[in-house]
Structure 1
Amino acid sequence: MKVLKAPVFFLILCFSFVFLGHAEEAPDRLGKARKLVEEKKYGDALKTYTEIIAQLLTDPGLLIEWARVYTYADRHREAIELFEKVRKEYPDREKQIIRELADQYKWNGQLTQAIAVYQRGLELDPGNLQIELGLAQALAWDGQHKEALKSYDKGLFKDPNNIQALLGKAEVLSWDDKLEKARKSYDAVLKIDPQNVDALNGIARICVWQGYHRRGIKRYRKILKDHPGNPDAMEGLAFAYHWDEQEGLALAAAEALMAAHPDRHAGGELYDQIRDIKKPHALQGNRFSDDRNHLYIAAEKAHVGTYVGDSTIVGAAYEWYLYRQPGKAPLNGNRGGLDITHRLNEYLTGNSYVYLAKYSAEGFTPFTTNTWLTFKPNDILRFDGAYDRETFEDITSMNEKIIANSGSISFDLKPDRFWLFSTKYKRSHYSDKNNQNTIFSKVEYRLLQKPYLKLFYNFYYSDWADQMNHGYFNPTSIFSNTGGIYGSTNLGKKLFWENQLSMGYEVQHPKQSRPTYYASTSLNYSLPRGVGLFTRAEYFLANDTNPSKRYSKGTIWFGLTYSFGGGVPGKQHEAQQAQRPLV
């Protein structure tokens, strides 16, 4: 040890001279650092602070000042280290810096530590409103929404007109799907500050989440007119267009957002979803079914579609069918055609599927179509008018060359985000001179949003002008009542699951009645490079004490989708109107 004394003494002496030299410049360097902070040149300021580190480490006031510059530069880890040093070495300063330390833990994503430090802050200063609100936000981000609301309420008890508390409470209520209560909190903010942009954005977002997309779009446009470039409004507008199925406008809004605010996380995810939405997409699907009458159906479909402009989607399809039934010659068919969807304006959308088919039944080459026009005057009402020219999936019907020409009209009423009322009337004229009237009505009530869960009731009525034996199912009249439950959810980021169960009772004339049961389940799985897999199974049973009158049918679908531009956006609920079958 004696050997080391001289070198150590020499190093200490040299360091002392260096320190004294720097000490003389320290006030100038400190002034320079503070000036750089005033100019918001935080990186340069931190370099200058580092040059006088010896002085900073011996002065708790300067340590706190240095830590705060790290907070300005969003360098949370370094700020935490310095605040913790102050807390450890200068306990009398803990109360002064405790909230700032908790804030840095929160902004650094260390929510457990942030919550603990906020709680310590309230022990030191129980009446500190900012600590209470910081704790509430940390709890909310940590998923402890119930506790977060309690903290916000404590803050509002201390200051009923505190805008930060009202906004925070509204946000948590929104996350918990308590949108009506959240709206009241946002309204309370606007009574205090009518131009508060956070509250205005919150109300616009609630409108979109309630399904009132156009109302939300109008609000976001108004915000951007008064506050150009506001990132929350720009992001909200992109999502509103997306959920209103105006993908062209959604893409334009998302591109503008990414150009101005590339750090927006949710907006970036939406942009990644839809940035290549206009590129072609393809589907290959298969369907197999069998019923009580031993009618076996196999079908395959290939479809390619793409955007043309912002408002039009065009596609082409080819389909192949095989029908088998004991005692009858097998029948097969080939069908091809075109389809188009065009959004005429804010209120009108047209859809048309046009096909030409050739079946092995001699001389049967029918032209078929499903064409409809949708009119949505607002977010509450929807009207559809349709013309259908269809064949029947039945060997006898095809051998008889039965075609039905039908016109229909339907309307949906969605008074709020919980209820949906829908009715459809259809009049069909058959090529064998038969006529049919059909009425279908449904009532839905949404129970939950995540997972999406709803109850429904369906009513169906049909009557026929004549009794024909041309394959299609035609008792003189039939009506049924059905109740059920539907649910869907995301099982992770790549898997989407849907289920439906229902039971009811049908009455036919000539006199016959029986209970009915239905169950279905489907899965959609997203693979890399724009590939998706889907499968679906369903089973229907009309039970009867007489086995010969019992009817059942089972069907399975499976296939894949491919987008040349990447993933295709999806929604966590099924559409209000039944979509055209994949095959």
Structure 2
Amino acid sequence: MGKKRKTLVCMAFSMVVSANVNFVEAGAAAAPTPMPEGTAPVKDKVPAGKTEAYNQFRQLAGQGKYDEALAILHDVYKLDSLSSVKVAMMLDNRDQARQIIDKLLVKYPPTGQADRAGLHEYAVQLGRNKYYGESVAILQGVYAANPNDSVVAGDYAVVLSWAGNHRAAVDVYEKRTTKNSPVYVLNSVGGSYYRLGQFQKAQQTYHEAVLAGDSQAKLWEAESYVRLGNFDAASKIHEDILAKDPKNIAVLRGKASMLMLSRKYRDAITVLDQASAVAANSPNAAELKKAIRYDVAIAYIRMGDESKAIEILKPYVEGSKTDVFMQADYVAVLRTYQDYPAAISIAKKLWPNYDNVPLFGLQAYADSYVRIGQVEKAIPIYEYILKRDPNANAAKAGLAFARLKAGKIAQGIQAYDELIAKDPTVADIAIDDAAYFYEHGFCEAGQQLFELVVRRYPHSVSYRQQYADALYNNEMPRSAYKQYEKLSKLQGGKVVGLTGMASSAVQVGDYSTAKASVSVLQEKYASNALALQGIKDWEGRQLGEVNVEGKYYRDYKGIETRSLELEAEQSLGGSYSVLSKIGREEITDRSENPKQSTVLNSRSVGIQYKGMKSEVQAWYDYYLNDGSFSGYTANYKYHFDDRVTMGVEASRSPLKDVQALRPSLLGITGGRIMTDNYAFTTSILASKKDKFDVGITRSFYSDENQVNNYSLSWTRNLLKKDKRTIDFVVEGSQLHFSQRSDLYESPTIRDTYGAGLIEKWDYAKHYWEGRVIAEWGRDRPEATDFSPYARLEYGYKFSPVKSITAAVEYGARTNRAKNSSDMHFGHRMYEVLGHLSW
């Protein structure tokens, strides 16, 4: 998929930026007018004689036993609802306090008027002191006990607005039984309508406040007109105010807001400069100029000049001369500017706790963590946002993405599912996120997210095709084939499905399956442009190849091997191929005096089958070495999918050792040593970063020796960027011999284990690959020796069908058998491989 993706985190941040700009452009309209100040304290001391009750309550609450804690307060000590709430507020853990208050007012709802009035007053005071969650919990209980109380309904709507829960605020307001509301309620609810984008209702609500005598609401009504696109009505209000007060800074800022919405950002900055000049003579000049500079920064953000906005905001934020909204905007603009480390650093410094931080700032903070890959740190921030505003879709979107990336698959999928259920357009974003997860190695997350979307929209050709394309592009042709097959059965998906099936089957090598799809394309859709790719892949399939390899090897024991091998493959049509191989291997043992050597010639023919699930190879081997003899190899591989493959193999071959091939050289009677081998292998691609290989081999030697070989390797991709790839590999093996043999130097147990790095630079026509491996090994009961080695490989492509590869490898080792920890020669190897295909 070549298009630029917009992930759910990007979508989430666009929601946040939109909400932030709404807040700024609305000016004071976004902030509710406070209610008259009360005198009730936020927290009380423990009532006289109730210390024991409080201690028991605190202990049970700390253990999460909320029902038992409430029973002590209400049943044992007979505290009324208000007193119980105040005791809950004495807890240090605010989450516990909120949960207890919720349970308290459901289990023991306030009944008398005095009880409700006391709770009401206390909740309002909590709200003024920014204990929004606790205030909302209390007012919810009071409102539920008497929904016809218009004063409670109005105050409940205001506190919900303060808490940022604007949808709930307007729902409560619209259900009120008395239509005449106080000005402070109208202004708060107007701000909630504004934030929800319901500008017509915002204008009407502010107009009610104007008719009730609140002149300040005129400006907010003008801002609503601006967002409705009725600039004439907004300008008339501005001019009316300026006619009476030409230096009204709020109106000048309002005009600038209108110009910003008209995308006249330079003109808006000019008006703001005028406002700044007027502010210079005001008693609170510093604060006003700071606010105006803040508006100028927002104008630059809208222009896309984030660097200028950062330049304006930075002195205020870093000098601690700013309020929390400006801090939040600074973090948000740093995130937009993609300076994620700076956004995180500033947020950590300024916000030791999040209670008073605007949600859009916290959203930018969490998103920055996601962008640098620290999703575990982002998740609790998103979760906190949702505690304050359960309807914060931006946080839900970010949390869904972060959970999946963190490996919390079930929770992440549930979050995506809920988002799609509420807004079907999120499915488009989810599909792109799924492709992102595949491309970045989070295969399980990508698969589960794709499955969620196609399960919800099983008849969507687009979603099914994007799923199949993502699998194909990420080298998972077997899984892609399944999805293309399902796509071919959908209305409108026949051609693209068959094309994908053909291309996927060709990539696997299952030409019989590919031919079935191509035949339909050629017969019915030969002129269709979509079908051409599948037909092209079929016609360009590899029909055969030949590889020629020469190798030289020598180790510290004096064993020297020179080999030359030619191997060819030719398709017979369909999924079958014929195989052939010719080899010559000269083995020399220079440790003997005089040196001993032998030559092993081989001729092999075989047949191969490749299917979508299965691969089979069968070889007949004919050997020449001091006479002729034969062997065989038969192996079977089963692909559960593109990530898990299991294989079994049976073979009979000679033991490639000078003395084992020709025991007569040592005066030993008897024929050469032959081995019957039975192997089981498993390869697991756990993700695009992790691959595991496991092997178990059981061998029976003709001299009655028996060998068990266990091997395990893990390859972890550390870097894949542009042309460069770095992998970390860990590997180990252990061979158990039933008996020791001096003939071919078999120990009781042979251990080998090591770890290292593989780095590859891949260019269009050639590549370099280097590896450095630190290896340890021993033939028990000998001591363990350190035997590191390095390998350098170079490959060059003359054309897509012709290439050559050359490699050199050198190893060193200690010699503990001779009490030497110095590094000595271990082995060296040279390889050349030529490849030709057609």
* 1:406–1:426 CA contact under 8 A, matched in 2: no
Structure 1: how far apart are the matches of 2:710 and 2:834? 34
Match of 1:560 in 2: 834
Cα displacement (A) at 1:338: 0.7
Question: When the two structures are superposed, what TM-score results if normalisation uses the length of structure 1?
Answer: 0.60
Question: Which residue of 600, 605, 618 corresponds with 1:333?
Answer: 600
* 1:286–1:557 CA contact under 8 A, matched in 2: yes
Q: 1:349 and 2:615 equivalent? A: yes
Question: Which residue of 342, 358, 363 corresponds with 2:624?
Answer: 358
Going from structure 1 to structure 2, the CA distance change for 1:298 and 1:252 (only over 3 Å counts) comes to farther
Q: 1:484 and 2:750 equivalent? A: no
What is the number of equivalent residue pairs in this alignment?
Answer: 415
Q: 1:412 and 2:682 equivalent? A: yes
Cα displacement (A) at 1:461: 1.3
Match of 1:518 in 2: 789
State the AA in 2 paired with 1:374: K
1:92-491 mapped onto 2 (5 Å cutoff) = 162=425, 193-208=457-472, 213-228=477-492, 232-250=496-514, 256=521, 259-262=526-529, 268=533, 275-277=539-541, 279-326=543-590, 327-343=594-610, 346-359=612-625, 363-379=626-642, 381-400=644-663, 401-412=671-682, 414=684, 416-417=686-687, 418-447=689-718, 453-470=726-743, 472-488=744-760, 491=762
Structure 1: how far apart are the matches of 2:775 and 2:799? 42
Structure 1: how far apart are the matches of 2:587 and 2:500? 50
Match of 1:495 in 2: 766
Structure 1: how far apart are the matches of 2:476 and 2:704? 45
Structure 1: how far apart are the matches of 2:499 and 2:810? 42
Cα displacement (A) at 1:219: 1.5
* 1:504–1:515 CA contact under 8 A, matched in 2: yes
Structure 2: how far apart are the matches of 1:386 and 1:476? 25
State the AA in 2 paired with 1:352: A
Partner SS, residue 226 of structure 1: coil
The structure that is strand-richer by fraction is 1
RMSD: 4.3
Cα displacement (A) at 1:192: 7.3
* 1:482–1:505 CA contact under 8 A, matched in 2: yes
Cα displacement (A) at 1:458: 2.0
Going from structure 1 to structure 2, the CA distance change for 1:481 and 1:260 (only over 3 Å counts) comes to farther
* 2:503–2:538 CA contact under 8 A, matched in 1: no
Q: Which digits, 9 at most, give the CA deviation of each residue in 1:115-174, with x for residues without a partner?
A: xxxxx9x869xxxxxxxxxxxxxxxxxxxxx99x99xx99x99x9654665555655665
* 1:402–1:432 CA contact under 8 A, matched in 2: no
Q: Which digits, 9 at most, give the CA deviation of each residue in 1:433-467, with x for residues without a partner?
A: 32222211233434456655443322211122222
Match of 1:48 in 2: none
Going from structure 1 to structure 2, the CA distance change for 1:508 and 1:278 (only over 3 Å counts) comes to closer
Match of 1:537 in 2: 808
Partner SS, residue 469 of structure 1: coil
Structure 2: how far apart are the matches of 1:373 and 1:192? 38
Cα displacement (A) at 1:221: 0.4
Partner SS, residue 788 of structure 2: strand
Cα displacement (A) at 1:497: 4.3
Q: Which digits, 9 at most, give the CA deviation of each residue in 1:228-287, with x for residues without a partner?
A: 5556544543443244343554466578499455478xx85x876763545342222211
Match of 2:775 in 1: 504
Cα displacement (A) at 1:380: 5.1
Structure 2: how far apart are the matches of 1:444 and 1:223? 34
* 2:812–2:826 CA contact under 8 A, matched in 1: yes
State the AA in 2 paired with 1:328: K
Match of 2:311 in 1: none
Q: Which digits, 9 at most, give the CA deviation of each residue in 1:512-539, with x for residues without a partner?
A: 2112323334333222383221223333
State the AA in 2 paired with 1:475: P
Question: When the two structures are superposed, what TM-score results if normalisation uses the length of structure 2?
Answer: 0.43
What stretches of structure 2 of length at least 5 have no aligned partner? 1-262, 264-299, 305-366, 372-393, 399-421, 664-670
What stretches of structure 1 of length at least 5 have no aligned partner? 1-94, 96-119, 125-145, 566-583
Structure 2: how far apart are the matches of 1:328 and 1:210? 52
Q: Which digits, 9 at most, give the CA deviation of each residue in 1:402-448, with x for residues without a partner?
A: 33323323242637324444332222222223222221123343445
* 2:619–2:632 CA contact under 8 A, matched in 1: yes
Partner SS, residue 527 of structure 1: strand
Cα displacement (A) at 1:481: 2.5
Partner SS, residue 241 of structure 1: helix
State the AA in 2 paired with 1:414: I
Going from structure 1 to structure 2, the CA distance change for 1:222 and 1:494 (only over 3 Å counts) comes to same
Tell me whether 191-200 or 503-512 shows the greater mean CA deviation.
191-200
* 1:446–1:453 CA contact under 8 A, matched in 2: yes
User: Quick one: percent identity of the two aligned structures?
Assistant: 13
Structure 2: how far apart are the matches of 1:262 and 1:215? 24
Partner SS, residue 815 of structure 2: coil
Structure 2: how far apart are the matches of 1:395 and 1:179? 48
Structure with the greater alpha carbon radius of gyration: 2
Structure 2: how far apart are the matches of 1:512 and 1:556? 29
Structure 2: how far apart are the matches of 1:380 and 1:529? 27
The structure that is helix-richer by fraction is 2
State the AA in 1 paired with 2:615: T
Match of 1:57 in 2: none
Larger RCO: 1 or 2 (CA < 8 Å, sep 6+)? 1
Structure 1: how far apart are the matches of 2:535 and 2:812? 44
Q: Which digits, 9 at most, give the CA deviation of each residue in 1:156-210, with x for residues without a partner?
A: 99x9654665555655665555656666775676587553322222223344566
Partner SS, residue 432 of structure 1: coil
Cα displacement (A) at 1:473: 3.7
Cα displacement (A) at 1:558: 1.0
State the AA in 1 paired with 2:829: T
